[in-house]
Amino acid sequence: LANNEEEAFQYSMEELASLTKTANGEVLVTLSQKRDRIHPSTYIGKGKIEELTSLEEELEPDLIIFNGELSPSQNRNLGKVLSARIIDRTQLILDIFAQRAKSKEGKLQVELAQLQYLLPRLGGKGIELSRLGGGIGTRGPGETKLESDRRHINRRIVDIKTQLNIVVSHRERYRERRKRNQAFQVSLVGYTNAGKSTIFNRLTEADTFEEDLLFATLDPNTRKIILPSGYHALLTDTVGFIQELPTSLIAAFRSTLEEVTEADLILHVVDSSSPDYVNHEKTVNNLLRELGVEGVPILTVYNKTDKVTKEFTPSYYQEMISISALQKNDLQRLTEKIQETVTREMIPYTIHVP
């Protein structure tokens, strides 16, 4: 591999690990293989499979995740020799989207993408329909079962598409009613692995969230932060951008991210040590614009400054701050910066700590 290919590969594997954590998985071990091309029937080569089977005995993983898209037959063939459940990158991403989708449109888009992924793979090992509702079938259905599953899925796809048409045409009206509570809302956006959940966890560490009835109905990705002035704000960690997102997942991703249009402040976290950070930044900004966040202030947070080795030039055209999420002082500066925006945007919303 050329040097920058090697670098891109490393980032891609780190991203996969981050995605796995986001899906509440724990990474036991990471394996990679250099090949001229993907093995047509098993994705990885024979030697790698042997290495995997002996590692399986030692570590007993629940899941093996391939950092690519497995064809239906590759999935089947691997299933014959490996005992853990096998999923690929697309399935992992779909799982995260399914966890995170909140709006009706988001849920429909994710289910549609899941069904379209599933359809050509029916009958393979580890392909279970039960998760998708309807409770049909476990693994290895017989031929007749397979046909009825297929029909069932096709019907559901048509049904979802019809519903989506209706939902999308009513979207504007939904948006007006969106604002669910009166607190100042801060949303973290950015690429997976940029450090969003590190910032989220560290800013909300001191939180006694469970006891706080006022916010008790919020989802697990939203927590309270207390700003220097004593004001509360709500911080939400959104679903991360993904490098080379499969095109079949773009609609689902967008609709899952739509909640940022409700925010009062967007913290756009950029991994400034990533070789690709400029492109990442542009991609996020473009999508934010497309989602329609005009009027929502955006603070660009250049993270991982402790790791930056190469030249790094922040873009100064919007408000920004450089930090390392691992340093307490920097996080303090970040909350002060958030405070500034709250004060400026003021503030019919914010609730004072008694």
Using the Cα atoms of residue 274, residue 197, residue 190 and residue 251 in order, give the sign of their dihedral. positive
Backbone angles phi, psi at 48, to 5 degrees: -65, -40
| Position 244 contacts ligand GDP (CB under 6 A) | no
Q: Is 18 in the site for ligand GDP (CB under 6 A)?
A: yes
Please report whether residue 222 would count as binding ligand GDP according to CB under 6 A: no
Q: Which is nearer to ligand GDP, 21 or 121 (CB)?
A: 21
Question: Does 198 contact ligand GDP by CB under 6 A?
Answer: yes
Q: Which residue has the tokens 């989220």?
A: 200
**b/e 61-73 (16+ beta carbons within 10 angstroms → b):** beebbbbebbeee
The sign one gets for the Cα dihedral 93, 199, 337, 179 is positive
Site string for ligand GDP, 253-292 (x = CB under 6 A): ----------------------------------------
Residues 110-139 that bind ligand GDP (CB under 6 A): none
Alpha helices in the chain (DSSP H): 3-22, 46-59, 72-81, 89-100, 104-118, 143-169, 171-176, 196-203, 250-257, 277-291, 328-345
Contact positions with ligand GDP (CB under 6 A) in 79-108: none
Cβ nearer to ligand GDP, comparing 185 with 303: 303
Does 20 engage in binding with ligand GDP (CB under 6 A)? Answer: no
How far is 108 from 98, CA to CA, in rounded Å? 10
Q: Least separation, in Å, of the C-beta of 194 and ligand GDP?
A: 4
Residue 18 or 350 having the CB closest to ligand GDP: 18
Binding of ligand GDP by 350 (CB under 6 A)? no
Q: Is 193 in the site for ligand GDP (CB under 6 A)?
A: yes
Nearest partner of 267 among 328, 327, 340, 214, judged by Cα = 340
First to last CA, the chain: 60
Angstrom CA distances, 226 to 142, 199, 268, stand at: 57, 14, 20
Taking the complex as a whole, how short is the minimal distance between the CB of residue 200 and ligand GDP, in angstroms?
7
Contact with ligand GDP (CB under 6 A): which of 226, 291, 326, 351? 326
Among 52, 242, 325, 338, binds ligand GDP (CB under 6 A): 325
**Would you say 42 or 90 has its CB closer to ligand GDP?**
90
- Measured between alpha carbons, how far is 73 from 16 in angstroms, rounded to an integer? 23
Within 296-315, the residues that bind ligand GDP by CB under 6 A are 303-304, 306-307
Give the tokens for residue 3.
């040097």
Q: Kindly list the residues in this chain that would bind ligand GDP in the complex (CB under 6 A).
A: 18, 21, 190, 192-198, 240, 303-304, 306-307, 324-326
